[in-house]
Amino acid sequence: MEQDIFVQCKGISIGYKERSKASSVVKSEISLKALKGEMVALVGGNGIGKSTLLKTVAGFQPPLSGDLLIHSQSVADYNSEELARELSFVSTEIVRVAHLTVREMVGLGRYPYTNWFGKLNNHDEEIIDKAIREAGLSGFENRSINRISDGERQRAMIARALAQDTRIMVLDEPTAFLDISNKYEIVRILHQLVNEYEKCIIFSTHDLHTAISMADRIWLMLNEKVVEGTPEEIAAKGYFESLFPNNHHLIFDAAKGDFNIRKEYRGVVKLSASGPELIVITKALERLNFEVLPVSPDETSSGFPSVTQSLRPSVSPSPDITVVQSADVWILSYSGICMEIESVEDLCRQVKQITIQPKS
């Protein structure tokens, strides 16, 4: 199993060496690993040191202390060319070079294998073709990298890393600035590389949803420590909740695997409906800052629901509103008053009036 551990951080500190005084440590005591055939998502808030960690793992800057092992060998024992054959890197930096075609740029990935003048042989050309195909860029070979979209350019950068033919790939926010379609395309390509070639791919992202649904392992950078585990383990231990300790407006929704904005609800509406109406009414009420809860079965069976005290007295002082659908008629009940409503618009108007009344 030892040879399956591709990247291992043993209590490393990351940061920058400063000449004048002591080095400035960004984070210390980091112990993480990444295995063969794993997709590792690095998650953390802005400015917590994700890029610094990735740059350290990629060998750009040495760890200030501790051991960083690539294939069980200290990263310091690799020379630059040996490391480049084991690990490739895709940065957030946008490369703008006029008169450089996609193919020429991907060809630069063969750098650690070519001779002093960078001459590509037939074997190199085959690998370049394959990398372009796998990144879904067939037909773009002769386009200038300045004349393609951001998503295509990002895929071209990934193709360049593929041409480098390494077992480990490190990507710094590969999906930043991309629209949904391009974002999922990048994630799909990375996922395929992991499945097909058992590469070890480490990428940082702000998209928690992608991280939780696609990654085999999550490296989570919190303020006080760095933890790792499968998405399920991290969620179960409640680490996601401590990702943004200073922001009380965010709540982690474990079911969705993403954060939601915590709202100051005006009140609770209990809703009994099904089908498309359920979604439409829920959305409309949520937009009005009402918490929508399902009506419990005993309430619906009575036909005329009894007024229940608010389950969350701290949230809202106003009593619950209940909306029940019976046959073709919608009935809104509130403090013992029942009324029939005609449309979603009507419902919204009534609900608003009810919640304003207690103040006047």
Partner 1 sequence: MKKEAKISVLDFWFLKGKGFFLLFLILVLFFIIDLLVGSVPISLFQSFSTLFHPASADPQIASILFQFRIPKAITAITAGAALSVAGLQMQTVFRNPIAGPDILGISSGASLGVALFVLSVGWIFKGLPLFSVAGSWGIVLAAWTGAGCMMFLIVLIASRLRDLMTVLIIGILISSAVLAVVSVLQYFSSDYSLKSFIVWTMGSLGGTTRDQLWVLVPSVLAGLVMAFFSSKFLDAFLLGEDYAKSMGMNLRHAYILTFASTSILAGSITAFCGPIAFVGIIVPHLARRLFHSSLHSRLIPGTMLLGAIVMLIGDLISQLPGYETTLPINSVTSLLGIPIIIWIIFKNKKMGAL
> In the set 3, 20, 46, 80, which binds partner 1 (CB under 8 A)?
80
Question: Binders of partner 1 among 125-164, rule CB under 8 A?
Answer: 146, 164
CB of 214 to partner 1, least distance (A): 24
Which one among 4, 81, 253, 345 touches partner 1, defined by CB under 8 A?
A: 81
Question: Contacting partner 1 (CB under 8 A), which of 111, 237, 262, 311?
Answer: 111
Nearest of 336, 180, 206, 357 to residue 267 by alpha carbon: 357
Q: Percentages helix, strand, coil for the chain, rounded to the nearest 5?
A: 35, 25, 35
Spatial distance between the Cα atoms of 285 and 297, rounded to a whole number of angstroms: 21
- The answer to whether 104 contacts partner 1 (rule: CB under 8 A) is yes
In degrees, rounded to 5, the angle at the alpha carbon of residue 134 between the alpha carbons of residues 131 and 137 is 85
For partner 1, the binding residue among 91, 182, 242, 350 (CB under 8 A) is 91
Q: What is the DSSP letter of 23?
A: -
Min dist CB 139 to partner 1, Å, is: 19
Which positions ≥6 away from 1 have C-beta within 8 Å?
none
Return the number of the residue (105 or 190) whose C-beta is nearest partner 1: 105
Nearer to partner 1, 162 or 218 (CB): 162
Considering the complex, what minimum distance in angstroms separates the CB of residue 172 from partner 1?
A: 9
Closest approach, Cβ 186 to partner 1, in A, equals 18
Task: Tell me the CA end-to-end span of the chain in Å, nearest whole number.
Answer: 71
Q: Tell me if 108 contacts partner 1 by CB under 8 A.
A: yes
For 135-151, the DSSP string reads TT-TT-TTSBGGGS-HH
Return the residue of 19, 21, 99, 287 that touches partner 1, per CB under 8 A: 99
Four-CA torsion 7, 11, 14, 18, nearest 10 degrees: -130
Pick out residues in 2-61 that bind partner 1 (CB under 8 A): 55, 58-60
The whole-angstrom separation of Cα 154 and Cα 139 is: 16
Q: Which residues bind partner 1 (CB under 8 A)?
A: 55, 58-60, 80-85, 87-89, 91, 93, 95-100, 104-105, 108-109, 111-112, 114, 116-119, 146, 164
